[in-house]
């Protein structure tokens, strides 16, 4: 199926093929989005038999970014002075509003400029100018271009590229919390190939059981109702069931919500079973989460801040239309939480008077 990125991918490759040796310039202080998108564009040039080099005239300022470059063996040359550009017949800039480079201006053409910021007027020749404010990161745009091109890359090389691009999207979307539809589309494509060990190391926390694509899906599908956030993530394999709870923890930390509920339809290959699995997290110690969950399903339960429940969906496991089945499960679960949220003021008043009655009894005993 043709997408806007089908045309962009064709335009980009057609432009690059005009040249033999391209200089990829990272402008400003190198950040993960600029590093990742430049790396992916170099590999694209390599596949087209175009010699490409990445340079940066500013050193990396954050240790985390140095670690990204080291862990993924990203070939960037850091220069204290402008390079000799005579070997190059074109240049490229990614992840910067302006494609203009002072030491290059009017000497060689700009083969491509790719960026997700508000575009600026340029008085230089740019063969292909791809700027999309609808993307939260330049890595998103480059990732979707690679998706369209379906390059025959070595698996290890593509893992490095995917890891860099996922990290670039993460950093420019504030940990995926400010992502847009294009970002989620790119993450869905890239995250299965990303190196979770490296991303865990960069984050300083384990994410091996927390698929990034599912985090992106939860953020994309989240519904904020009053101060409760509810997010369905669709059908999930039983081996990834633990991700539901981890994503609930993640969203409670990142989002301004007093309660977070994350749910999925969990499929078991061994039993061919289907189960609605819901993880709930609350911020306030005084909230009676166990009571809430038992009102929804008496077999569920919670401790102080965390709870869960499951609903057997085996009767529907042979439903021929999985999309429609998920629509029903999703809409029903959302409505259940909305209904219980609407009832909270009544419950809070009742709890207040129960506590007051208990206090008065203790005083006058």
On whether both 194 and 278 belong to a single domain, the answer is no
Distance CA 70, CA 67 (A): 5
Residue 277 located in a structural domain:
yes
14: which 2 tokens? 């057609």
Answer yes or no: is pLDDT of 208 > 70. Answer: no
Lowest-pLDDT range of 102-111, 228-237, 261-270, 347-356:
347-356
Residue 358 located in a structural domain:
no
On whether both 12 and 143 belong to a single domain, the answer is yes
Rounded to 5°, the CA angle 290-333-184 comes to: 110
On whether both 312 and 196 belong to a single domain, the answer is no
Q: What is the mean pLDDT of the chain?
A: 87
Into how many domains does the chain fold? 2
State the pLDDT confidence band at 114, using cuts at 50, 70 and 90. very high
Residue 194 located in a structural domain:
yes
The domain in which residue 60 lies consists of: 4-203
Answer yes or no: is pLDDT of 209 > 50. Answer: no
Lowest-pLDDT range of 24-38, 63-77, 236-250:
236-250
On whether both 235 and 172 belong to a single domain, the answer is no
Q: What is the CATH number of the domain that holds 333?
A: 3.10.310.30
Give pLDDT tens digits for 166-201.
999 998 887 887 788 899 999 999 999 999 889 888
Residue 364 located in a structural domain:
no
On whether both 189 and 237 belong to a single domain, the answer is no
CA-based end-to-end distance of the chain: 76
> Residue 214 contacts by C-beta under 8 Å, 6 or more apart in sequence?
233, 236, 240, 243, 247
Give pLDDT tens digits for 227-240.
999 999 999 988 77
Whether the model pTM is above 0.95: no
On whether both 183 and 283 belong to a single domain, the answer is no
Q: What is the CATH number of the domain that holds 29?
A: 3.90.1640.10
On whether both 57 and 190 belong to a single domain, the answer is yes
């Amino acid at each position: 199926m043709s997408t806007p990125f089908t045309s962009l991918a064709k335009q980009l490759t057609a432009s690059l093929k005009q040249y033999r040796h391209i200089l990829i310039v990272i402008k400003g202080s190198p950040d993960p989005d600029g590093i990742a998108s430049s790396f992916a564009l170099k590999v694209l040039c390599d596949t087209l038999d175009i010699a490409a080099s990445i340079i940066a005239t500013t050193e990396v300022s954050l240790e985390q970014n140095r670690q990204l470059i080291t862990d993924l063996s990203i070939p960037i040359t850091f220069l204290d002075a402008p390079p000799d550009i005579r070997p190059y017949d074109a240049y490229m800039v990614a992840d910067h509003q302006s494609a203009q480079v002072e030491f290059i201006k009017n000497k060689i053409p700009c083969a491509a400029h790719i960026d997700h910021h508000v575009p600026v007027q340029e008085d230089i020749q740019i063969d292909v100018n791809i700027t999309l404010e609808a993307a939260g990161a330049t890595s998103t745009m480059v990732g979707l271009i690679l998706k369209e091109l379906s390059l025959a890359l070595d698996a290890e090389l593509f893992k490095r590229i995917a890891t860099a691009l996922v990290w670039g999207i993460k950093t420019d979307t504030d940990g995926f919390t400010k992502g847009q539809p294009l970002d989620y589309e790119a993450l869905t494509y890239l995250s299965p190939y990303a190196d979770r060990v490296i991303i865990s190391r960069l984050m300083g926390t384990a994410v091996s059981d927390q698929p990034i694509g599912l985090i992106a899906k939860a953020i994309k599908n989240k519904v904020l109702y009053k101060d409760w956030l509810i997010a369905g993530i669709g059908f999930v394999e039983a081996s990834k069931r633990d991700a539901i709870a981890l994503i609930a923890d993640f969203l409670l930390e990142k989002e301004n919500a007093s309660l977070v509920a994350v749910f999925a339809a969990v499929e078991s290959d061994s039993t061919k079973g289907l189960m609605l699995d819901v993880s709930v997290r609350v911020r306030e110690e005084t909230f009676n989460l166990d009571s809430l969950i038992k009102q929804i399903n008496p077999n569920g339960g919670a401790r102080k801040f965390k709870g869960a429940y499951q609903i057997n969906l085996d009767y529907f496991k042979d439903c021929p239309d999985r999309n429609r089945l998920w629509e029903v499960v999703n809409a029903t679960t959302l409505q259940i939480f909305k209904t219980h949220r609407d009832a909270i003021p009544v419950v809070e008043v009742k709890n207040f008077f129960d506590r007051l009655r208990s206090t008065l009894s203790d005083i006058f005993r």
